[in-house]
A and B are shown apart, each in its own frame.
Chain A
Amino acid sequence: MTSTSPVSYKLAIPENDLQALKSKLAATRFPDELEGVQWDYGVPLADMKRLVRYWQDGYDWRRHETHINETFPQFTIDIEVDGFGVLNIHHVHQRSKNEHAIPLLFSHGWPGHFMEAAKIIPLLTNPPSGAPAFHVVAWSLPGFGFSDAPKKPGFNMAKMAEAGHKLMLALGYSEYVVQGGDWGSSISRQVARLYGGKHCKAVHVNMLSMAPIQPSKNPLLWLQHISTPFSEEEKRMVARTNMFRDKGLGYFHEQSSQPQTLSYGLADSPVGLLAWVYEKLHNWTDNYPFTDDEILDWISVYWFSKAGPGASLRIYYENLRTNPLENGRHEPIYSVPIGFSIFPQELVYVSKANRLLVGNLVYESSHSAGGHFAAFERPEDLVGDLREFHGIGGKAYGVVKGLTGYADD
């Protein structure tokens, strides 16, 4: 059903799809495994066997589906993206009771999804007194979750930003703020680059991908960067960055170059998809104690996604085939205030000197725990930062005209 106004939506995976999944799970053929390797070679076999058995016999998707439907108001809406026609965009839209709440667009990444916002939505929309309130829009990116996928090549960061921006306009938010990690961070920054000042009024991210400082371009900054010693904490984060670069980028290279080849196994094999995503849930978080239900809830969004799991991989290809240094994705942003929350187990550490190239980076907050999926792992920390950034006395206080987040405007 196409519509330029939001249409109420409830997840309702067809019973046939659930049965098909069960048939596949029953037919799972497992690989062998070397002795005693634990996580060295990838996801351990014992974990996969346990999860597949549970997925087949005990796990209840309908429980999770019902929970999402009852807890989070979901909608779909048609958004026209230049050159790509109409994409039907699925999203959660939770308004605060506070009419002056700040409209905020939360963008997930890969292998994230719209329900990464599940824990922060109630905190943002229903704060204690003294803290600002937000109206939260948590969308499924095009190609992810229950949104349409683009059908043609070239749906790059600018297009993602266009879709997100037009979504907010279509929901009646001419001015809004953005938040994201992973691809959501890049999308949020691109929204600020393209629509900052007039529409997008502030950016908050929990991850930064930056070009390294080039001595030829920024000689003084480069000197500063190489001559400033790292703290113990920074050294740990740099070590993690190096590990990620050396051992953690296989998925990144394959998805940037041959996403279609990879997509057959992920679309066809539940355990294949489970392993591919679960590895990131394990390696990218700060020892987050995922329950089996949480893992399967998460992977099920990919398994049952509207366009299939393969479509989600293409965000890498569309954005990494051209050099970010040339496609503008690392240009500094000066039009709006930028806030950055630093979590110790994030994948990529950006030095203080390098952060000077972000642009108008006016708020930073460091934490002692938490990893890549900050909204899911450390919701109070992330929300605390957003409240500081956007609240009274914060660097992004009152950026949206008339919507400060407080009751008595």
Chain B
Amino acid sequence: MATSNTDQAFKISVSESQIHELKVKLDLIRFPDELEDAGWAYGSPLKDVQRLVAYWKSGYSWREHEKHINDTLPQFTKDISVDGFGTLNIHFVHQKSSVQNAIPLLFVHGWPGSFLEVTKILPLLTAASKQYPSFHVVALSLPGYGFSEAPKQKGFGLFQYAEVCNKLMIELGYTEYVAQGGDWGYYITRALGHKFSKNCRAVHSNMPRGSPPKFIHNPVLFLQHALVPYSEAEKAGFARSAWFLGPGFGYRQQQSTQPQTLGYSLSDSPAGLLAWIYEKLRNWTDDYRWTDDEILTWVSIYWFSRAGPAATTRIYYEVETAKERDIITKPINNIPLGFSYFPRELVVTPRSWARTLGNVVFESTHASGGHFAAHEKPTILVDDIRQMFGKGGPANHVIPHKSGFDHGLKAKL
């Protein structure tokens, strides 16, 4: 493919042969056994997976969902060069607001998410209003995910993902922008804040992390942490975190150490891929009522992804090997940070811990919602973003001349 500096308009168009291949495999499926009354205790239940497979075989229409995505999300591809990794063709959604001074916002997904996670928040963020700011939104498929190319060499870590994000925004004309993300989106936006704060001028995340404040680094926070008891929500959060870091951690141990070994069954078995992802869709959300269509569409993005499902797991290996989680935990003090706290996030970080992450100007705690905030609680998440960046908000006017409002409507400072 010729490299290009211009955006190519893109429509997802999975080939007939890929659709046929999936059908052949679905017809050949061999299911495992299951213990009596196992429920969810051992993992994705057999009856759920069988039901989803049966619907995937006959009933579910990928073409229908493909068309709907293409009709709803304006998509493009662009070649982005990454130091040491050549050029990667990057797939992304780009929706401009009608508000000329809208704030450019980059939405970064994670695993097992995708660019689709922007779907519900897109119309809300780009809406024009006198009350709340509007955004131009870019939602990329991370390298190795969705319809972006995957890197071919090892070592593609958080700062490489951040480099792709930053170059994409700059090449789209957004030399200054804000970023939002959860899951890997949290880690990648941290890397953006660390390395590219000239361009990435603020970060909001729905999955804040952080460690207990240490006296030597944050004496004030340390004292606050020592003196102020944890809230009820924070205490409940510890149980959730303990589940994730204990019995919920197996996938991460595997993906961080032997992703290729796992990759064979994810690439070759639709049921294997489905069960692997479906378990997260259920366990990581707050009682979100997934429809079978939603589940199969999310899984199909992985099944039909440009680089295949195995490529999506390597980020765990790269980040673990380079210990990048530690690196990005260092505080970011020169740009505003905002956090939204959801009770069924995987690790429910106490506020005092997350404040060690730097210049935290916005915090919001909610009574419901889980890991996939943009998909589960789109209006709540967008409300938070609007508050952070809107009139009177702590990150209001973080980008000069991009207040989120039309000319003539000056933001009240």
Residues of A with Cβ closer than 8 Å to B? 20, 23-24, 27-37, 40-45, 48, 149-153, 246-276, 279, 307-311, 314, 317, 321
Q: Is the CB of B152 within 8 A of A34?
A: yes
Cβ-based interface call for B16 (8 A): no
**Residues 260-293 of chain B, each 1 if its beta carbon lies under 8 Å from chain A, else 0:** 1111111111111111100100000000000000
Nearest-CB residue, chain B, relative to A317: B42
Contact A314 B42, CB 8 Å, known A261-B279, A269-B269: yes
Q: Is the CB of B258 within 8 A of A41?
A: yes
Q: Is the CB of B254 within 8 A of A250?
A: yes
The docked-state distance in angstroms from the alpha carbon of A150 to that of B33 is: 11
The docked-state distance in angstroms from the alpha carbon of A152 to that of B270 is: 27
Q: Is the CB of A41 within 8 A of B32?
A: no
Q: Is the CB of B273 within 8 A of A258?
A: no
Q: Which of B37, B151, B268 has the most CB of A within 10 A?
A: B268
27 A-B pairs whose Cβ atoms sit less than 8 Å apart in the complex: A27-B24, A30-B264, A35-B154, A37-B154, A42-B262, A43-B260, A45-B260, A149-B33, A151-B36, A152-B36, A152-B37, A153-B35, A251-B258, A254-B251, A264-B276, A265-B265, A265-B275, A266-B32, A267-B31, A267-B32, A269-B264, A270-B268, A272-B272, A275-B260, A275-B264, A279-B258, A311-B32
Nearest-CB residue, chain B, relative to A258: B43
Tell me what chain B mostly uses at the interface: helix, strand, loop, or mixed: helix
The docked-state distance in angstroms from the alpha carbon of A302 to that of B117 is: 38
The docked-state distance in angstroms from the alpha carbon of A44 to that of B279 is: 27
Neighbouring B residues of A45 by C-beta, 8 Å: 260
CB < 8 Å: which of B41, B250, B314 contacts A34? B314
Q: Is the CB of A258 within 8 A of B21?
A: no
Contact A31 B260, CB 8 Å, known A265-B271, A310-B33: yes
CB < 8 Å: which of B35, B263, B309 contacts A152? B35
Neighbouring A residues of B261 by C-beta, 8 Å: 41-43, 275-276, 279
The docked-state distance in angstroms from the alpha carbon of A151 to that of B42 is: 13
Cβ-based interface call for B249 (8 A): yes
Q: Is the CB of A248 within 8 A of B257?
A: yes
The docked-state distance in angstroms from the alpha carbon of A175 to that of B38 is: 37
Q: Is the CB of B36 within 8 A of A250?
A: no
Nearest-CB residue, chain A, relative to B249: A253
Cβ-based interface call for B171 (8 A): no
Considering the complex of A and B, which 8 residue pairs feature the smallest CB-CB distances, nearest first?
A265-B272, A272-B265, A265-B265, A42-B260, A261-B43, A250-B254, A42-B261, A310-B32
Q: Is the CB of A272 within 8 A of B268?
A: yes
Neighbouring B residues of A270 by C-beta, 8 Å: 268
Q: Is the CB of A273 within 8 A of B265?
A: yes
Q: Is the CB of A151 within 8 A of B271?
A: no
Cβ-based interface call for B412 (8 A): no
Q: Is the CB of A31 within 8 A of B41?
A: no
Contact A32 B269, CB 8 Å, known A152-B35, A258-B279, A267-B30: no
Q: Is the CB of A34 within 8 A of B153?
A: yes
Q: Is the CB of A254 within 8 A of B264?
A: no
The docked-state distance in angstroms from the alpha carbon of A250 to that of B257 is: 7
The docked-state distance in angstroms from the alpha carbon of A272 to that of B32 is: 14
Q: Which of A42, A153, A268, A269 has the most CB of B within 10 A?
A: A268
Contact A28 B44, CB 8 Å, known A250-B250, A251-B254, A267-B32: no
Q: Shortest beta-carbon distance, B115 to chain A, in Å?
A: 20
The docked-state distance in angstroms from the alpha carbon of A308 to that of B153 is: 36
Q: Is the CB of A260 within 8 A of B24?
A: no
Nearest-CB residue, chain B, relative to A277: B261
Contact A264 B274, CB 8 Å, known A34-B153, A257-B248: yes
Q: Is the CB of B269 within 8 A of A33?
A: no
Neighbouring B residues of A24 by C-beta, 8 Å: 28, 30
Neighbouring B residues of A247 by C-beta, 8 Å: 257-258
Cβ-based interface call for B221 (8 A): no
The docked-state distance in angstroms from the alpha carbon of A20 to that of B25 is: 11
Nearest-CB residue, chain A, relative to B317: A41
Contact A307 B33, CB 8 Å, known A27-B24, A260-B45, A279-B261: yes
Q: Is the CB of A35 within 8 A of B153?
A: yes
**Residues 16-56 of chain B, each 1 if its beta carbon lies under 8 Å from chain A, else 0:** 00000100110011111111111001111110010000000
Cβ-based interface call for B88 (8 A): no
Nearest-CB residue, chain B, relative to A272: B265
Q: Shortest beta-carbon distance, A284 to chain B, in Å?
A: 13
CB < 8 Å: which of B34, B49, B255, B267 contacts A29? B267
Q: Is the CB of A264 within 8 A of B264?
A: no
Q: Is the CB of A264 within 8 A of B272?
A: yes
Neighbouring A residues of B46 by C-beta, 8 Å: 260
The docked-state distance in angstroms from the alpha carbon of A236 to that of B46 is: 44
Neighbouring B residues of A150 by C-beta, 8 Å: 35
Nearest-CB residue, chain B, relative to A266: B265
Q: Shortest beta-carbon distance, B211 to chain A, in Å?
A: 21
CB < 8 Å: which of A250, A258, A259, A271 contacts B258? A250
Chain B, 288-341, CB within 8 A of any chain A CB: 307-311, 314, 317
Neighbouring A residues of B265 by C-beta, 8 Å: 265-266, 268-269, 271-273, 275-276
Contact A249 B32, CB 8 Å, known A42-B262, A265-B266: no
Cβ-based interface call for B173 (8 A): no
Q: Shortest beta-carbon distance, B246 to chain A, in Å?
A: 8
The docked-state distance in angstroms from the alpha carbon of A265 to that of B240 is: 27
Neighbouring A residues of B90 by C-beta, 8 Å: none
Chain B, 151-190, CB within 8 A of any chain A CB: 151-154
Cβ-based interface call for B256 (8 A): yes
Contact A37 B36, CB 8 Å, known A271-B268, A314-B42: no
CB < 8 Å: which of B31, B35, B260 contacts A264? B31
Neighbouring A residues of B266 by C-beta, 8 Å: 31, 265, 272
Cβ-based interface call for B247 (8 A): yes
Q: Is the CB of B258 within 8 A of A260?
A: no
Cβ-based interface call for B253 (8 A): yes
Q: Shortest beta-carbon distance, A108 to chain B, in Å?
A: 20
Nearest-CB residue, chain B, relative to A17: B30
Neighbouring A residues of B154 by C-beta, 8 Å: 34-37, 40-41
CB < 8 Å: which of A27, A274, A307 contacts B21? A27
The docked-state distance in angstroms from the alpha carbon of A317 to that of B38 is: 12
Q: Which of A32, A37, A309 has the most CB of B within 10 A?
A: A32
**Residues 41-85 of chain B, each 1 if its beta carbon lies under 8 Å from chain A, else 0:** 111111001000000000000000000000000000000000000
Q: Shortest beta-carbon distance, B27 to chain A, in Å?
A: 9
Neighbouring A residues of B404 by C-beta, 8 Å: none
Chain B, 226-257, CB within 8 A of any chain A CB: 246-251, 253-257
Q: Which of A29, A151, A253, A276 has the most CB of B within 10 A?
A: A29
Q: Is the CB of B42 within 8 A of A274?
A: no
